[in-house]
């Protein structure tokens, strides 16, 4: 509870005199403070808690009993999740809370564990999803949130600390819908990369009410992220910085961008949660008025190939092999090592990938490697490693195939390639017929006549304009200001009308930057191009 009270959630205003007996449930919390509750209006307080650590449980129990001797402390060594599962299954449950009536709570404080699907196990995740009617990829904290919704009183309040990931990814649309359907959101805080906790997960705090409490049409939404922009406000720490709006400098020297607005929730839950402010919404309206289309109108954005044996398939020393000749089937590989705006970096030892796939009569298939003696010899030298990929064999594939080869015909086309994670957008045009691998995405034009759209997209994607657009619309940032350039975001990047003279100027200048990318004049050209991109969407 300390974290919640320090966030100035206004807990005294939450509770009303009708709560004559106040029941609080604590999930994964080892301590709690009741000093902010209007105890004069409450005749009895019962605090219930779940804890798996014996020492933490006893510490919390003793602390509460010393500070609040009149409170009924009902802490149990157990797992809240198991308790909810048994209740949900309709089985009798009375070993945690001895009561003949179903348990429900006025106030719930929770810090659900953040456990990804691979850790839970696919089979158990599927079982839980079916039981709780969730779709898509799931994390364990989804079920904790659902469990909280089942035991919160219709006029109760819950404070929940979770990963902020659920706000910004398409795969977590189901939990966004669950939260909206199960609660009335009072306030949401995206605590970003403040590093308030030791865990690497970027946290968010949700303050929610039961469905019979007041429902805000546009609940307040606050966010705080580290920035290199100069500050004109000072605060002691990130929590106190949340009292302000703008760029705030804290005592340890870090600067944070603090924003306060309202939570923009689209009825289409595939859309991310974002902070809406009057200025941002007006800016987006202007941009969309000048938008001709999106990146997805050029073609389908694809992920990199997946070999599941990179040490065998991908090397930068093929020409130095002594045990056999360099394989005939190697192709140049595009990886994050050559990532650079507009044109890939030239490196001394570029990576190549042995690519044993082709298209025959419109269908992708594995190449008959016996036709290529050097490739055949090399792959057979590593056969034991490749055959150890059991899922490849069980999937009816040849032992030497790449697990996810993508489209063999697409490699011979010009492509827009970009890094998945980067502080600044890093998009480049590939004219070298590279196979894309290594934490990168790529986009090829569906129509050969649309090649100039790739250059237009490269200019937009590498601009400061798209940084602003990304931060307003998606705002999926990791530590140190790094952004996630995932398909669900990049496919929505806007494009100006390619027939406009301004757009044709953008394409011409992007090609010029590609041609002179190592020139001293390149920075000037990029600055000029950046200004034209802004003009295309705002004038």
Which structural domains are found in the chain, ordered by start?
Answer: 2-218 (3.40.50.150), 278-299+446-539 (no CATH), 302-444 (no CATH)
With 0-12 / 13-18 / 19 or more C-beta atoms within 10 angstroms meaning exposed / middle / buried, residue 449 is exposed
Q: In Å, how far are 164, 271, 294, 324, 403 from 268, measured between CA atoms? A: 19, 6, 18, 56, 33
- What's residue 60's pLDDT? 79
Phi, psi of 280 (to 5 degrees): -65, -45
- What's residue 364's pLDDT? 95
Q: Residues 436, 441, 442, CA angle at the centre, nearest 5°? A: 70
- What's residue 2's pLDDT? 24
Q: What is the DSSP letter of 354?
A: E
- What's residue 146's pLDDT? 83
- What's residue 245's pLDDT? 94
Please tell me the distance from the alpha carbon of residue 91 to that of residue 86, in angstroms, as a whole number. Answer: 6
Count of alpha carbons within 13 Å of 483, Cβ hemisphere only?
Answer: 23
Asked if 428 and 340 touch (Cβ cutoff 8 Å), the reply is yes
Asked if 27 and 57 touch (Cβ cutoff 8 Å), the reply is no
- What's residue 95's pLDDT? 37
- What's residue 99's pLDDT? 42
Strand partners, 273: none
pTM over 0.85: no
Please tell me the distance from the alpha carbon of residue 339 to that of residue 378, in angstroms, as a whole number. Answer: 29
Integer distance in angstroms from the first to the last C-alpha of the chain?
49
- Residue 376's H or E segment, with its range, is helix 373-381
- What's residue 244's pLDDT? 96
Of the candidates 533, 439, 437, 534, which has an alpha carbon nearest to the alpha carbon of residue 484?
A: 439
Please tell me the distance from the alpha carbon of residue 530 to that of residue 532, in angstroms, as a whole number. Answer: 5
pLDDT along the chain (539 residues), means of 10: 26 31 50 57 74 81 80 78 62 40 74 65 65 67 82 89 88 84 92 86 91 79 93 95 96 95 77 89 96 96 95 90 79 94 93 96 95 95 95 93 95 96 95 93 91 97 97 87 92 97 97 85 91 96
Q: In Å, how far are 146, 183, 205, 206 from 186, measured between CA atoms? A: 17, 9, 11, 8
Q: How crowded is residue 230: how many other Cβ atoms within 10 Å of its Cβ?
A: 8
């Amino acid at each position: 509870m300390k974290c919640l009270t320090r966030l100035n959630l206004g807990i005294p205003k939450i509770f009303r005199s009708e709560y004559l007996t106040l029941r609080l449930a604590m999930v994964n919390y080892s301590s709690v403070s009741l000093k902010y509750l209007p105890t004069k209006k409450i005749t009895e307080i019962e605090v219930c808690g779940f804890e798996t650590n014996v020492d933490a449980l006893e510490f919390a129990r003793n602390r509460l009993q010393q500070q609040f001797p009149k409170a009924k402390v009902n802490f149990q060594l157990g797992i809240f999740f198991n308790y909810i599962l048994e209740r949900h299954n309709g089985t009798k449950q009375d070993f945690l809370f001895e009561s003949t009536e179903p348990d429900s709570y006025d106030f719930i404080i929770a810090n659900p564990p953040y456990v990804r699907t691979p850790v839970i196990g696919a089979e158990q995740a599927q079982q839980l999803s079916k039981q709780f009617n969730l779709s898509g990829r799931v994390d364990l904290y989804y079920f904790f949130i659902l469990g909280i919704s089942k035991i919160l009183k219709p006029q109760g309040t819950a404070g929940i600390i979770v990963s902020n990931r659920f706000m910004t990814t398409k795969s977590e649309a189901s939990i966004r819908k669950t939260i909206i359907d199960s609660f009335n959101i009072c306030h949401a805080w995206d605590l970003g990369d403040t590093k308030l906790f030791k865990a690497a997960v970027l946290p968010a705090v949700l303050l929610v009410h039961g469905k019979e409490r007041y429902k805000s049409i546009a609940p307040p939404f606050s966010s705080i992220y580290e920035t290199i922009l100069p500050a004109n406000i000072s605060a002691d720490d990130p929590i106190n910085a949340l009292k302000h709006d703008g760029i705030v400098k804290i005592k340890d020297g870090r600067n944070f961008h603090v924003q306060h607005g309202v939570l923009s929730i689209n009825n289409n839950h595939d859309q991310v949660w974002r902070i809406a402010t009057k200025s941002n919404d007006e800016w987006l309206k202007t941009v969309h008025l000048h938008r001709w289309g999106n990146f997805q109108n050029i073609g389908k954005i694809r992920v990199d190939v997946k070999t599941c044996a990179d040490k065998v398939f991908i090397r930068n020393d093929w020409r130095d092999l002594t045990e056999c000749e360099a394989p005939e089937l190697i192709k140049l590989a595009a990886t994050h090592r050559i990532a650079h705006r507009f044109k890939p970096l030239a490196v001394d030892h570029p990576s190549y990938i042995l690519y044993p796939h082709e298209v025959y009569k419109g269908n992708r298939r594995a190449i008959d490697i016996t036709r290529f003696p050097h490739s055949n010899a090399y792959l057979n030298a590593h056969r034991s490693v490749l055959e150890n990929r059991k899922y490849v064999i069980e999937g009816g594939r040849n032992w030497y195939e790449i697990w996810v080869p993508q489209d063999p015909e697409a490699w011979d086309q010009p492509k827009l390639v970009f890094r998945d994670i980067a502080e600044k957008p890093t998009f480049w045009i590939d004219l070298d017929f590279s196979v894309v691998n290594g934490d990168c995405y790529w986009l090829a034009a569906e129509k050969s006549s649309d090649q100039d759209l790739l250059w237009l997209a490269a200019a937009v994607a590498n601009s400061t304009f798209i940084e602003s657009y990304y931060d307003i619309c998606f705002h999926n940032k990791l530590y140190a200001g790094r952004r996630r350039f995932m398909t669900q975001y990049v496919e929505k990047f806007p494009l100006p009308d390619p027939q406009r003279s301004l757009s044709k100027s953008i394409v011409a200048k992007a090609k010029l930057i590609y041609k002179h990318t190592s020139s001293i004049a390149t920075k000037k050209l990029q600055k000029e191009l950046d200004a034209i991109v802004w003009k295309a969407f705002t004038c």
